[in-house]
Amino acid sequence: MFDLIIRNATLADDRTGMDVACRDGRIVAVERAIEAEAGETIDADGCLLSPPFVDPHFHMDATLSLGTPRMNVSGTLLEGIALWGELKTIQTVEEIAERALKYCELAAAMGIGAIRSHVDVCDDTLKGVEALLHVRREVAPYIELQLVAFPQDGVLRDPTAKQNLIRALDMGVDIVGGIPHFERTMEQGAESVRLLCEIAAERGLMVDMHCDESDDPHSRHIETLAFETERLGLQGRVAGSHLTSMHSMDNYYVSKLIALMAEADIRVIPNPLINIMLQGRHDSYPKRRGQTRVRELRDAGLAVGFGSDCVKDPWYSLGRADMLDVAFMGLHVGQLSSRADMAWCFDAVTRNSAQIMGLEGYGIEPGCRADMVLLQASDRIEAIRLRAHRLAVIRAGRVISRSRPAEATMNLSGQEKTLRF
């Protein structure tokens, strides 16, 4: 007797007609036509059953704050940072937690099972840290939340950022963040990378830096990050988020850089929605896209996972916790249009990001956690094409969210007909 069986599902590796049986929060069998009873049975009707979406880059202390205290008029990263500086002095722990919890519920209903969120530590009160540590405990049954200590104003540029970052780690924040391109000079940026990687190495933590998030072709912090990763033996534990400067770098230099990144096993987290919106703002025409070199990094063997970064905050007015929107944009901006490339974009918001976050028991195999999302789509490409409806979200073998199929009832000539999207 199982707790749950999902019958006749298509899996992300394109196997069709599969039954998935769950017991005690784990997947115990993935086979065709399992002959057993279960407390609950779901007929997938050939639809795609995937492990949960994973968002490896988010800012939960800012989410859903759009318009508070004002809008970002220029639309630039720098005005966003200035606006955030105004907001963080006036918001309370309770307000941050309330918005974050609201977002996590929305994210769970949209099939997201894990989020890595940066939390700003450039605030002596550490309100965001206090709020998100509380939220991490609250949402643990349905969202695995990793927190990154993020010195938004620069760990060297802001006089108390380093001590606040250490305090945040002591309070239980998981990962060391940074923003070298926002330090005062290129040298200070490199120094911040060295300092932050040493803190991570001493504490046995992972690193995830906002790195070279600009259109400056001469920004070189990812080179330093790869160097420090190797020097300190942090291979496989360091992520470079954004890396938009790589879009504008000299091709010869990049051919050397990507090999160095691969040697250091750097994890790559582009954020397509936000960077297509923010980058190239100082260009006339042609305007650069500002997405890092996704195809080349992937083909060099680096783990690449797309993040959403922002939803309704000082940097981005839109968003709805839809990782398929993120994959859709990443696919277009990166011109990843072959069948294999499009299917890979689905992996970039699921298993690649799970690998980057180091999630335990992720996947649809016996022994994995019984965490899944049933999508109204026949395969990974259709899921992206339709930004497919989440028919059911399953956590620890229990359905925590359901929605009716997306359909329209049409009547063109006196006869009703149902169209499914």
Please count the residues of the chain.
Answer: 421
Q: State the minimum distance, in angstroms, from the CB of residue 379 to Fe ion.
A: 31
Non-local (6+) Cβ contacts of 347 within 8 A are 12, 380
Site for Fe ion, residues 146 to 185, rule: CB under 5 A: none
Question: Which amino acid would we find at residue 56?
Answer: P
- Which phi and psi angles does 384 have, rounded to 5°? -75, -45
Q: State the minimum distance, in angstroms, from the CB of residue 241 to Fe ion.
A: 6
Non-local (6+) Cβ contacts of 157 within 8 A are 182, 183, 184, 188
CB-wise, 309 or 347, nearer to Fe ion? 309
CA distances, 300 to each of 57, 110, 133, 220 (Å): 22, 32, 36, 19
Interface mask toward Fe ion for 353-392; x: CB under 5 A: ----------------------------------------
C-alpha to C-alpha distance for 4 and 8, rounded to whole angstroms: 13
CB-wise, 273 or 393, nearer to Fe ion? 273
The site that binds Fe ion (CB under 5 A) totals a number of residues, namely 1
Q: Please provide the DSSP assignment of 281-304 as one string.
A: TT--SSPP-----HHHHHHTT--B
Q: Please provide the DSSP assignment of 349-360 as one string.
A: TTHHHHHHHT-T
Q: State the minimum distance, in angstroms, from the CB of residue 305 to Fe ion.
A: 14
Crossing angle of helices 127-139 and 161-171, rounded to 10°: 20
Non-local (6+) Cβ contacts of 222 within 8 A are 211, 212, 240, 243, 245, 246, 257, 261, 266
Q: How many CB atoms lie within 10 A of CB 141?
A: 12
CB-wise, 11 or 119, nearer to Fe ion? 119
Cα-Cα end-to-end distance for the chain = 35
Q: State the minimum distance, in angstroms, from the CB of residue 308 to Fe ion.
A: 10
Omega cis (within 30) before 69: yes
- Provide the CA 65 distance to its chain's centre, in angstroms: 19
The tokens describing 364, both together, are 């649809």
Q: Which residue is nearest to Fe ion (CB)?
A: 309
CB-wise, 152 or 164, nearer to Fe ion? 152
C-alpha to C-alpha distance for 215 and 243, rounded to whole angstroms: 10
Interface mask toward Fe ion for 278-317; x: CB under 5 A: -------------------------------x--------
CB-wise, 215 or 309, nearer to Fe ion? 309
Catalytic machinery residues: 213
CB-wise, 57 or 298, nearer to Fe ion? 57
Find the helix or strand (DSSP H, E) in which 256 lies.
helix 251-263
Quote the DSSP letter at residue 29: E
Asked if 334 contacts 294 with a C-beta cutoff of 8 angstroms, the reply is: yes
CB-wise, 228 or 309, nearer to Fe ion? 309
Question: Which amino acid would we find at residue 195?
Answer: L
Q: Which residues bind Fe ion (CB under 5 A)?
A: 309
